[in-house]
Amino acid sequence: MANGSLTHTFSDGIMPETGDILMFLLTVAWLLPLAGFVVEVYWLCFSHRLNKGAAYVAVACIGIGFLCSLTALLYWGNATKWAALSEPEHHAHSASHDAGHAEAGHGEAGHEHEAHAVDADEHSHSPPPAPAKKYFSGTYYELARFSGLRVSLDWYIDSLTLVMFTMVTFIATCIHIFAIGYMHDELTEEYEDHEVHLHNGGHFSRPGRFHRFFAYLSLFSFSMLGIVLSGNIFQVFIFWELVGLSSYLLIGFYIERKSASTAANKAFIMNRVGDFGFLIGMMILWTSFGTFQFGDRTEGDHTQAGLFTMVRGQDGKLDVSEDGKEVYLQDAYGHRAERNGKPLSISYMLLVAAGLGVFAGSIGKSAQFPLQTWLPDAMEGPTPVSALVHSATMVAAGVYLAARFYPVFTPEVLLGIAYIGCITLFIAATIALVVTDIKRVLAYSTISQLGYMMLAIGVAGWGAALFHLVTHAFFKSLMFLCSGSVIAGCHHVQDMSRMGGLRHKMKITAYTMLVGVIAIAGLAIPGTSIGLSGFYSKDAIVASALAYSELNPGHILLFIAPLVTAGITSFYMFRLWFLTFAGTPRDAHVYEHCHENPSVMTTPLLVLAVLAAGCAWGGEGGPLYRLIADSELVPATARVASTGAAKVILPSHQGHESDVHHVHSTAGMLALISAIIGMTLAYLLYVKKTIDPNQIRQQFSGVYDFLVDKWRFDSLYDAMFVAPVHIVSAWCVSFDKGVLDPILHSAASLTVLTSKWDRAFDETFVDGLVNLVGTVTYNVGNSLKVIQTGRLRQYVMWIAVGVIVLFGALFTTIPK
């Protein structure tokens, strides 16, 4: 449909609309990995196992996808004259200027979609000014239509989509290239898996699965981009499940390892728990709103409002009834939506439930408390997978969804999100303190950072959350690739207690890792605001949290936890670096055999290190933040006080007069101090050894064991869910064996017995009767045969005698 209109525009020689071009570029970027997947899945049909071509196909697909995404971003920037990058006060006007053009183009070409714009000039005198809408949306294909309700494949493009596309495709390209080196030992007909021990003491061996790995990676890229491009929540759900599937396949890549297959199952099942909530949320939305669509949709001369417009209207405010029990829905023209003359509304509690439901999906996907336990186990997958799927992109999809759905969330839901994020970031960070597996430290750090993002969304720091999402994606994928490089260099040793001093042997890995560590720790040069990317994004989150807790003193924990955790983060990340790269080798064997990796693996590290250091350049005044914040649908230029069950005030965070801006320098300083304390402690413990970590461990053995046990979550879930299931299963087994089986067995023996009786009856009575008839007939015949002498004269005699007897009888009986 939309494609059709695109070609139509080109052939007519009219300048195609910005939205069409963006849609075309992003669709190409989105579908290329799918094409790659198809080729790689059937790789063995036209090539052989030892051919690296599958990897090149995958890299080419995602690489071209990156170029398309980047082109789209630049094109969008040029079309809007980079209005998003200018001071926020001006860009509303210029954006609407551009959108006005799009509107005009729409009228001429008769397109189904358009740049939805509200002309800011018309409203400039009425306070507050209506925000300009800066997204493009449209429909690829309509799947079904039930009178007014439709299910379709849509696209929705705003600056956030563009940034996410560019980020995902770029990181994916780097990781694909890295994986060519990392998965090199799969290029064999006979891969021996040293982790799988057979009964005969040998190792399991199988054909290499190089092409299959890249097929899964491509499938994942396609699904992930699908989530970002989706124009409705139903479509998001489809790709949500697809990334779940590809994550399952990738975690279980070494499926013969018991731990890997269990981890894959765990990830899949934990995600289903969250998706259950997601489904409920979707049902509520479908029932109450009658649409899944994010953006407004114009059909003919009528514009049907999308979800966001329905909830937030044109001014970004909830239209709550006076008693606070109903929320009136808005139509696309700034009025209350009506159906059959009655205003459309949704119960406030239902709206809360829908928000919590959708957020439950995010909890599962982003490994938030209480579903966080699957992510550390997911580290069973190959390291490039951990870098791409389980740190940079897929787990961030939960945050992305929560951010995308921000307009639908009520303050109560936001409070819930904030506390979930707050709990998660603290729990995960404390566990990361004691873990010695290099990948698991990073896994817990990922959970913790995702918690930061959730917290930021919860405290109305929308831009800060997504800002951190992008910076985190860069430095975390960098660090995962570094850890992968270490693991590959040390021949699959992952335990940090066996490393040490590796910086002498792996210079590139060590120093790119250091960039990542500094970035995540949020270090900056004190007194200036010059730091690596993590400094800016974490700063933004902490500032949002501080502004929130100042307005809501009851929720001070939401500020203290991230502040303290900033120190913990800094500590465990430096601990990781010091244990791995600094000091002296603790295991001579590992050190002897360790080596730096080929350039196919180190080049992505260098590229990512540059971006991890510099992508957030300029902080909240910088281009990245401005680009992201441009998509915010619920702008907060003033405080918003909630009237619902949760009495909270959301701080304003736009402009120089906002609450967040006021506390920014304080928050930044506190976070920096916290991080420096963490770093110093790590230095004292693991480099200077002024304090012996072992002594601390012995002194706080209770706490230590608690942390090593991951806050006993696995044991708790074992006791809460697994053990009861086992007990119920045992009951079922005993019921089966004790009751059902005996019933079945006795029924069977009864049948056998009856059959025996039946057989005896048949054999004696029925058969006997038939035989008797036969025997009698035979005997009668036998006894009668003596009459048949064969002597002719005798027969004549009998005839004569018979005739005489007949006559005799005749004459005696017939009366005269």
Q: Letter for the amino acid at 360? A: A
Q: Which two tokens stand for residue 793?
A: 């004269």
Per the omega criterion (within 30 degrees of 0), is the bond before 370 cis? yes
Count of residues of this chain found to bind another protein when the rule CB under 8 A is applied: 13
Q: Which is nearer to another protein, 765 or 778 (CB)?
A: 778
262, 228 in Cβ contact below 8 A?
A: no
Least separation in angstroms between CB 805 and another protein: 14
For the CB of residue 787, give the shortest distance to another protein in the complex, in Å: 7
Q: Which x/- pattern, by CB under 8 A, does the window 729-768 give for another protein? A: ----------------------------------------
Copy the structure tokens of residue 369.
């408390």
Phi and psi at residue 468, to the nearest 5°: -65, -35
Query: What is the secondary structure of 134-170 as a DSSP string?
Result: --EEEEEEEEEEETTEEEEEEEEE-HHHHHHHHHHHH
Q: Terminus-to-terminus CA distance in the chain, angstroms?
A: 119
Closest approach, Cβ 816 to another protein, in A, equals: 18
Hey, what are 169's tokens? 């495709």
For 111, how many CA atoms within 13 A lie in the half-sphere containing its CB?
A: 31
C-alpha–C-alpha distance, residues 590 and 577, integer Å? 17
Binding region for another protein (CB under 8 A) out of 42-50, 230-238, 477-485, 780-788: 780-788
φ, ψ dihedrals at 303, nearest 5° = -105, 120
- What are the two backbone dihedrals, phi and then psi, of residue 343, each rounded to the nearest 5 degrees? -65, 140
What are the residue ranges of helices labelled H in 370-410? 374-377, 383-387, 394-404
d(CA 659, CA 548): 8
Tell me the two tokens of residue 389.
């799927």
Structure tokens at 473: 């994606």
> Residue 94 is which amino acid?
S
Residue 656 near another protein by CB under 8 A: no
Among 720, 770, 800, 809, interactor with another protein by CB under 8 A: 800
Which window, 199-207, 555-563, 751-759, 781-789, contacts another protein (CB under 8 A)?
781-789
The DSSP annotation for 26-50 comes to: HHHHHHHHHHHHHHHHTHHHHS-TT
How far is 72 from 225, CA to CA, in rounded Å? 14
If the CB atoms of residues 144 and 786 are measured against another protein, the closer one turns out to be: 786
Contact pick of 4, 790, 815, 816 for another protein (by CB under 8 A): 790
Of 784, 811, 813, 815, the one binding another protein (CB under 8 A) is 784
Stretch touching another protein by CB under 8 A, among 302-310, 312-320, 554-562, 795-803:
795-803
Give min distance, CB of 806 to another protein, in A. 14
Place of tokens 């109450």: 288
In the numeric block, which tokens belong to residue 144? 């079904």
Beta carbon of residue 792, minimum distance to another protein (angstroms, whole number): 4
Q: Among 380, 436, 383, which residue's Cα sits nearest to residue 258? A: 380
Nearer to another protein, 738 or 802 (CB): 802
If one asks whether residue 811 binds another protein (CB under 8 A), the answer comes out as no
Q: Compare residues 340 and 782 and give the one whose CB is closer to another protein.
A: 782
Euclidean distance between CA atoms 438 and 28, whole angstroms: 37
792 touches another protein by CB under 8 A: yes
791 binds another protein (CB under 8 A): yes
**Which residue lies nearer to another protein by CB, 554 or 790?**
790
Continuous segment of H or E residues that includes residue 268: helix 258-289
> Residue 796 interacts with another protein (CB under 8 A)?
yes
Nearer to another protein, 125 or 785 (CB): 785
Tell me if 780 contacts another protein by CB under 8 A.
Answer: no
Exactly one of 7, 715, 751, 789 binds another protein (CB under 8 A); which one?
A: 789
Burial of 740 (0-12, 13-18, 19+ CB in 10 A): exposed
Stretch that binds another protein, among 128-136, 399-407, 438-446, 792-800 (CB under 8 A): 792-800
Is residue 785 near another protein by the rule CB under 8 A?
Answer: yes
- Strand-strand pairing, 114-115 and 191-197: unpaired
Tell me if 786 contacts another protein by CB under 8 A: yes
Q: Which is nearer to another protein, 792 or 814 (CB)?
A: 792
User: Of 45, 144, 743, 787, which lies in the binding site for another protein, with binding defined by CB under 8 A?
Assistant: 787
Q: What CA–CA distance (Å, rounded) separates 36 from 222?
A: 9
- The residue (of 199 and 791) whose beta carbon lies closer to another protein is 791
Residue whose CB is less far from another protein, 4 or 790: 790
Contact set for another protein, span 665-724 (CB under 8 A):
none
Among 788, 811, 815, 816, binds another protein (CB under 8 A): 788
The distance of closest approach from Cβ of residue 808 to another protein in the complex, given in angstroms and rounded to an integer, is 16
805: contact with another protein by CB under 8 A: no
Indicate the residue among 340 and 788 with the shorter CB distance to another protein: 788
C-beta closer to another protein: residue 341 or 781: 781
Of the residues 148, 793, 812, 813, which one makes contact with another protein according to CB under 8 A: 793
Residue 806 makes contact with another protein by CB under 8 A: no
Q: Which residues bind another protein (CB under 8 A)?
A: 784-793, 796-797, 800
